[in-house]
Structure 1
Amino acid sequence: MAGVTPPDVFAPATLGPVRLRNRTVKAATFEGRAPHGQVTDELIDYHLAVARGGVGLTTVAYLAVAPEGRTHREQVVVAPDTRDGLARMADAIHEAGAAIAGQVGHAGPVANGRSNGVHALAASRMPSPLSMQMIRSATSADLARITRAYVAAARTLVDAGFDVLELHMAHSYLISSFLAPGLNRRKDEWGGSLEARARLGRQVARAVRDEVGSAVAVTAKISVSDGFKGGVTTDESLEYAAMLEADGCLDALQLSGGSSLMNPMYLFRGEAPVSEFAATMPAMVRFGMRTPVGRRFLKEYPFEEAYFREKQLRFRAALSMPLMQLGGINRLDTMERSMADGFEFVAMGRALLREPDLVKRLASGRATAGVCIHCNRCMPTIYSGTRCVVIDPAPPPGFGGHPFPRD
């Protein structure tokens, strides 16, 4: 990048066929505002806050392609019966001047089969710490059905007016579980070599692109590393990213990390809210989380700005396609350094949860940094309306959902 003037993070930019008012992205973080699996006014307001706060692109999370692909029952499945609500949300975001993305995915082993009322699927059979059930190994017929479901969801979101489709290929969700050798012990054409383990993700990306053409931008979220033994390493993830780039089906990659199933704090960094998470779980899981084994599940990693940067720079050096930098971006100087490093977009999560208008304040010079303290007590609130408990301790009225059925 020597001698090249970095772009202004607050200037308009292009993502595939989509024109964005700036290079900031509200990262996909589950909102906890769809208690009956439908778009609500509260869900729309959640995204309107960051749209009105100046972000270029806000990402709705998490939009499942199939009922068993929800992490738990209180999530939207993209289907004809949810299309009108999604369209209403897209219209509202556009009126506020921002673009809207839908994070499209299948939770795989991260799904709570007991909550969903249908067993979860993964690359290989394994026990679920969430549902206390066995997760079923997906058959080739399942994978064909799920690929078709991605295509149908993509078409519905395009018809609803969404601008960007983000394919979830990280965090031990279904596609990610196929990539991880410790979770994928298959002996068929879907397991073994990295090329075989990458087959599902590449197949989904191709099918979605063939369906939507240039009507919307198509991106994918991948892990720079999974952060657990048997997960995807940075070297393997680089190879996978090169495959995706060569396939030519994606307009950008968002570089994340960690595993919602095996090591969630690798993604979040900062304080581990063990007691708060335990309080949301059934008695048996709550007890387990308070043991030394359970506490190792929520490891603590020191927080620092752009904590994936060292690994992400390897991707920037190896790839020519646009990249979104994610992971602890709270400061204006971090955003400017991201542009200087050659990343095309910056994605922000907790910082915008605390301050939905942070982008506008940074762009106007009224602030140089966000005020999020990275206590991570927002993480367990996904079951009762995702929020910053430092400023908003009470759940939204009418939102007190739970991932586990209560008799």
Structure 2
Amino acid sequence: MCQYSAVDGTPTDWHLVHLGSRAIGGAALVMTEATAVSPEGRITPFDTGIWSQEQATVFRKIAGFIRQHRAVAGIQIAHAGRKASTEVPWRGGKPLDSGNGGWQPVAPSPVPFAEGYIVPREMTEADMERIREAFAAAARHGQEAGFEVIEVHMAHGYLLHEYLSPLTNRRTDVWGGSLENRLRFPLSVARAVREEWPESLPVLVRVSATDWVEGGWDLQQTIAFARELKKIGIDMVDCSSGGTVPDAKVPAGPGFQAHFAAAVRREVGIATGAVGLITEPAQAEQIVSTGMADAVMIGREFLRDPYWPLHAARSLGVDMPWPPQYERAKPL
């Protein structure tokens, strides 16, 4: 599991905010990352998935544990597309063929991610219908498991981002070419998830705001996409970037993607989340309190410091409850 948290700009709590009638306030949001909607949609053979009732039953225990500790359980659902069938990162992350536990990836166009990667099979309309239903089914299973927030992963060069970007979508039918055509399949998936998910609970979409490559997906196309997502009832756009091609020059630095969230929020009038090298409490507070974004999403910093919210609260002068077992260690 990867943990995400968000701060609402007032130094009272850490939580997901500003989602209108679907707000989940007063608690941290803990979200599973890139949970596959089908076996072929896994990045590696060891990825978690939510394509079956059995998986939902196991996740129910996890979501219940999160709620027991006064946090909100969320799930990010994903399909890896042409970046599927690879080894786990700590074993090198190289592509796996069928003889080594791999499988045939699918994508909008038969263009591999990089040299040495498996050439994906170009998806048919029947494939698209099957995968659209897989996302809808994942939403149903997620609800059964007790999750209260769902995020559709459309970033980082995975399947739905592959449809959006002209670098990876080379189709000449109604699913490729113009911006309207490239938006068509991702929007249909977002709509299917929104229709399955309870009206009272939030649906988020993670996007890569730019490919960082000339001629690729960019901020203006992201803004146009966010307008369409808002129309179908998506509650927040989580703004990341990159991942489409291996040789992109990404100017990474502290908070380097926050301006994407600010632009989408300003131009579209939809709630946004900022993500990417946000590690310091004051940095997170500044992003939200100045209106750059409605939430800050934190991942790797939680892996380095699982007690980051407690440390952040103290640095911002906020008194937060500690786990009872650790109260003896709470600073005075």
Normalising by structure 1, we get a TM-score of 0.67
Q: Is the 8 A contact 2:212 2:248 kept in 1?
A: no
Aligned mates of 1:134, 1:87 — CA distance in 2 = 36
Q: Is the 8 A contact 2:109 2:171 kept in 1?
A: yes
**Superposition pairs for residues 300-339 of structure 1, below 5 Å?**
301-303=251-253, 305-339=254-288
Give the drift of 1:128: 4.7
Letter in 2 for 1:256: S
Match of 2:5 in 1: none
Match of 1:274 in 2: none
Q: How many residues align?
A: 295
Q: Is the 8 A contact 1:8 1:339 kept in 2?
A: no
Aligned mates of 2:70, 2:278 — CA distance in 1 = 22
Match of 2:4 in 1: none
Query: Is 1:239 matched up with 2:224?
Result: yes
Letter in 2 for 1:187: T
Match of 1:17 in 2: 22
Match of 2:326 in 1: none
Letter in 2 for 1:91: G
Alpha-carbon spacing, 1:132–1:333, altered in 2? closer, same or farther (3 Å): closer
**Superposition pairs for residues 183-194 of structure 1, below 5 Å?**
183-194=168-179
Letter in 2 for 1:88: K
**Superposition pairs for residues 311-390 of structure 1, below 5 Å?**
311-342=260-291, 343-365=293-315
Alpha-carbon spacing, 1:74–1:134, altered in 2? closer, same or farther (3 Å): same
Aligned mates of 1:165, 1:156 — CA distance in 2 = 11
Q: Is the 8 A contact 1:18 1:163 kept in 2?
A: no
Aligned mates of 1:130, 1:186 — CA distance in 2 = 21
CA shift digits 1:58-97 (9 cap, x unpaired) = 1101211111100011112211121111101101111121
Match of 1:257 in 2: 241
**Superposition pairs for residues 135-154 of structure 1, below 5 Å?**
135-154=120-139
**Superposition pairs for residues 6-85 of structure 1, below 5 Å?**
7-8=10-11, 10=13, 13=17, 15=19, 17-22=22-27, 56-78=28-50, 79-85=52-58
Normalising by structure 2, we get a TM-score of 0.82
Give the drift of 1:171: 0.6
Letter in 2 for 1:247: I
CA shift digits 1:83-114 (9 cap, x unpaired) = 11110110111112111111101110111263
Alpha-carbon spacing, 1:302–1:195, altered in 2? closer, same or farther (3 Å): closer
CA RMSD of aligned residues (A): 2.4
Give the drift of 1:362: 1.1
Letter in 2 for 1:75: D
Q: What's the % identity of the aligned pairs? A: 29
CA shift digits 1:232-275 (9 cap, x unpaired) = 11111111111111222x1111111110x524xxxxxxxxxxxx
Q: Is the 8 A contact 1:183 1:230 kept in 2?
A: no
Q: Is the 8 A contact 2:212 2:250 kept in 1?
A: no
Query: Is 1:207 matched up with 2:192?
Result: yes
Aligned mates of 2:12, 2:217 — CA distance in 1 = 31
Among residues 58, 69, 80, which one is paired with 1:96 in the alignment?
69
Aligned mates of 1:203, 1:326 — CA distance in 2 = 25
Relative to structure 2, which stretch is displaced further, 108-117 or 158-167? 108-117
What 5-or-longer segments of structure 1 have no aligned partner?
23-55, 264-296, 369-407
- 1:346 is paired with a residue whose SS is strand
